[in-house]
Structure 1
Amino acid sequence: MTRVLVTGGTGFIGSWCVLALLDAGHTVRTTVRDLGREPVLRSWLRAAATFDDDRLTVVRADLEHPDGWEAAVDDCDFVLHVASPTLRRTPATDDELIVPAREGVLRVLRAARDAGVRRTVLTSAFGAVGIGHPQRSTPFTEEDWTNVDADIPPYQRSKTVAERAAWQFVREEGGDMELAAVHPVGVLGPLLGPDDPPSLRLVRRMLEGKMPACPPFAMGYVDVRDVADLHLRAMTDPAAAGERFLAVAGRSLRVIDIARILRDRLGERAEKAPTRELPVWLTRALATVNPELRLLKHQLGRDLDATAAKAEKLLDWKARPIEDTIADTAESILSHSLGK
């Protein structure tokens, strides 16, 4: 089988991509910023699957530094570029996220091109597709791009700028290397280990009773296992070259819908999940003093629906029912004692 580099192997999506590749028989090399995380990653993967240790190599490479990338991509057939710079605090300027995201993507693509990688799959996000637009009655598709000139959060701006830079690089300097991009919406699903990925905090807060009422908006959600599956399809299917793919399970859900599904599927264990939705006007007023709600201001009162019809048609991809994903997410959080 082929050798595949996965950047950011200890991340939520990255770790599931590594697992899916190992399950499919590939040899995997993955990057981490801290090699001290290697034993943790291996323990997560061994608990979920059986594989020969020599099919997984963990190397150190940081998106913000040039060292290590030449060795990381050496002799690789494909690259799944999943890693993305993150900040533990609110950035003072958008450039604190945008510059590392853009330069990190270009650093990986240059190294991949120089190593003769056949195709790179970029993990982008719905944040590069459907943010900064007026409300619309039709779902967002891969033809859409986030409006970076609108008043949008820095994370969505950084994902958009980084992806546009990637397509420009491959078009102008990529040589024979192909590019595909995967755009997950809100990513839920089970944990491989006792980690705390930001995308699961909505469900965790509901289980903990730390969300007295739900903010008023709707968006799409998808299972992390299906996101990993879409990465593998985009990696090998000839139809994926040069294409973007939204990863979303069905239609959008309101936050209150997620709470209802939790109560329905988990019963008493989800009794702390909220039962009401805040009015839009009140949420906007609270956002002036609540930093978490302030980050959602572009979504309040909106329905950010999206469709995965393209991935379903071109790559024969199919997401599992989102109700099952929400239940699996909660069960996993509780089993790791993260929602108690």
Structure 2
Amino acid sequence: MAHVLVTGGTGFLGAHTIARLLTAGHTVTTTVRSPDREAEVGRMLAAAGAPGRDGVRCVVADLGSDEGWDRAVAGAEHVLHLASPFPAAQPRDEDKVIVPARDGALRVLRAARDAGVRRTVLTSSFAAVGYGHGRTARVFTEDDWTDPAGADVTPYVKSKTIAERAAWDFVDSAGGGLELTVINPVGIFGPVLGPDYAASIRIVHAMLTGHMRVAPPLWTNTVDVRDVADLHVRAMTAPKAAGQRYLALAGDPVSFHGMAAALRAGLGRAADRAPTATAPAWLLRLLATVRPALRETVPQLGVVRRASNARAREELGWSPRSNEEAVVATGESLVRLGLLNGRSG
């Protein structure tokens, strides 16, 4: 068993990954941005039923500062770098999201290299793989990269692409003996452990509270957070994973209408506000002219991005849950934790 540093322990994926590591018998240090968030790590691990959670060491370290990273990485054989900025809204100045993502990844990699860490597993995103190519029937693989100049590329998508490129360049040019593996998940769903969860969870939340009365004509790829955590742990030690990227997705894309149908089938009356109809694309384009929050969805209307998880399955023996399982598990946890208060009539 190994000692592992997990960055971003209060995050949705971070907490699930720590729980997976503890279950496998590893010891863990995790980073938090401030001391008052240490208790939050404990609460999320308790919700996950993680064994040995009292032994998790928390270190204060921020991606925007060098302070604390030498202490965080001390004694670690592996680093799982999961923490990354996600904007509440797309900034007008793209550097506000690009610079923290890129510089934060490089800061962690330098600390890992200097501490003699064997391998770092970096959480990137499908955002670094499948955007900027227009409407296409291609099936994206780990060999594909997002075109940062593409018409559908938002500052967040660009930030994930630039940060991952910078990580590979660093390891190639200045990494010493540090190995790098990258995980590229799609939209992450699955059981939430508290009020801090992935942005993709808001889709299910909006469906169950009645705030999404009709489904937009959008498609997404999904993956269960427990499976993403499992893939990180597999990639951490598998010899063939060094120098590889792995797409993390359940399978074929699912429409928002299909997600709502899965919730109704899986949750019964708890999903009685989930949409049953799909809005026409022309209506959303019209509404986007007066509602700025809708504008970034317009380029995605009707776009279906297919991708392959074959490399993770074949090289690491990874077997993810289905789209439906991930979506229903999300809804079940939101109901169970009472996070649907203020449901729309």
Tell me the TM-score normalized by structure 1: 0.96
Partner of 2:335: 334
Corresponding position of 1:306: 307
> 1:53, CA displacement in angstroms?
5.1
Instruction: Using the TM superposition, give the Cα deviation of residue 266 of structure 1 relative to its aligned residue in structure 2, in angstroms.
Output: 1.4
Q: Distance in 2 between matches of 1:95 and 1:107?
A: 17
Q: CA deviation at 1:282?
A: 2.1
Matches of 1:308 and 1:88, distance apart in 2 = 29
Could you list the per-position Cα deviations for residues 111-135 of structure 1 after superposition, in whole angstroms to 9, with x for gaps in the alignment?
1000001000000011111111122
What whole-Å deviation, never above 9, does each CA across 1:264-292 have from its counterpart, x for those lacking one? 11122111111111222222222233333
- Overall identity of the aligned pairs, in %: 51
Q: Specify the alignment match of 2:291 in structure 1.
A: 290
1:19-38 per-residue CA deviation (whole Å, 9 max, x = no partner) reads: 11111111100001022111
- How does 1:188-337 map onto structure 2 within 5 Å? 188-337=189-338
Asked if 1:150 is matched to 2:150, the reply is: yes
CA shift digits 1:292-325 (9 cap, x unpaired)? 3222233111001211111001111010122122
Q: Is the Cα contact below 8 Å between 1:33 and 1:62 reproduced in 2? A: yes
Is residue 27 of structure 1 aligned with residue 34 of structure 2? no
Q: Please report how far the alpha carbon of residue 89 of structure 1 lies from its aligned counterpart in structure 2 after TM superposition.
A: 4.4
2:101 is the counterpart of 1:98: no
User: Which amino acid in the other structure matches residue 128 of structure 1?
Assistant: A
Q: Which residue of 2 aligns with 1:173?
A: 174
Cα deviations by residue, 1:43-82 (Å, 9 ceiling, x for unpaired): 2213433533563101100001110111111111000000
1:196-217 CA-partner distances (Å, limit 9, x unpaired): 4322000000000001211212
Task: Give the distance between the partners of 2:64 and 2:158, measured in 1 at CA.
Answer: 18
> Do the aligned residues in 1 keep the contact of 2:219 with 2:256 (CA within 8 Å)?
yes
Q: Distance in 2 between matches of 1:66 and 1:57?
A: 19
Measured at CA, do residues 147 and 202 of structure 1 come closer, stay the same or move farther in structure 2, by a change above 3 Å? same
CA 198–53 in structure 1, closer or farther in 2 if over 3 Å, else same: closer
CA distance in 1, matches of 2:112, 2:50: 29
User: Which residue of the partner structure matches residue 45 of structure 1?
Assistant: 45
State the AA in 2 paired with 1:103.
D
CA contact (8 A) 1:218 1:305 kept: no
Alpha-carbon separation, structure 2, partners of 1:136 and 1:50: 42
For the structure 1 residues 302 and 88, does the alpha-carbon distance in structure 2 shift closer, same or farther, using more than 3 Å as the test?
A: closer
CA distance in 1, matches of 2:247, 2:5: 22
Task: Give the Cα separation in 1 of the matches to 2:109 and 2:32.
Answer: 17
In structure 1, list runs of 5 or more residues that go unmatched.
none
Query: How far is the alpha carbon of 1:218 from its aligned partner?
Result: 1.5
Could you tell me which residue of structure 2 aligns to residue 14 of structure 1?
A: 14
Q: CA RMSD in A?
A: 1.4
Task: Report the Cα distance in structure 2 between the residues aligned to 1:42 and 1:276, rounded to whole angstroms.
Answer: 41
Quickly say closer, same or farther: Cα 1:205–1:50, change in 2 above 3 A. closer
On the 8 A contact 1:247/1:308 being kept in 2, the answer is yes
Q: Is the 1:219–1:305 Cα contact (8 Å) retained in structure 2?
A: no
Work out the CA distance in 2 between the residues paired with 1:157 and 1:176. 28
- Matches of 1:246 and 1:291, distance apart in 2: 31
Aligned equivalents of 2:88, 2:261: Cα separation in 1: 31
For residues 196-244 of structure 1, give each alpha carbon's deviation from its aligned partner in whole angstroms, at most 9, with x where no partner exists.
4322000000000001211212121000000000000111101111011
Alignment CA distance shift 1:47-1:85 (3 Å): closer
Partner of 2:67: 67
> Partner amino acid for 1:3?
H
- TM-score, L = length of structure 2: 0.95
Contact 1:205 1:339 in 2 (8 A): no
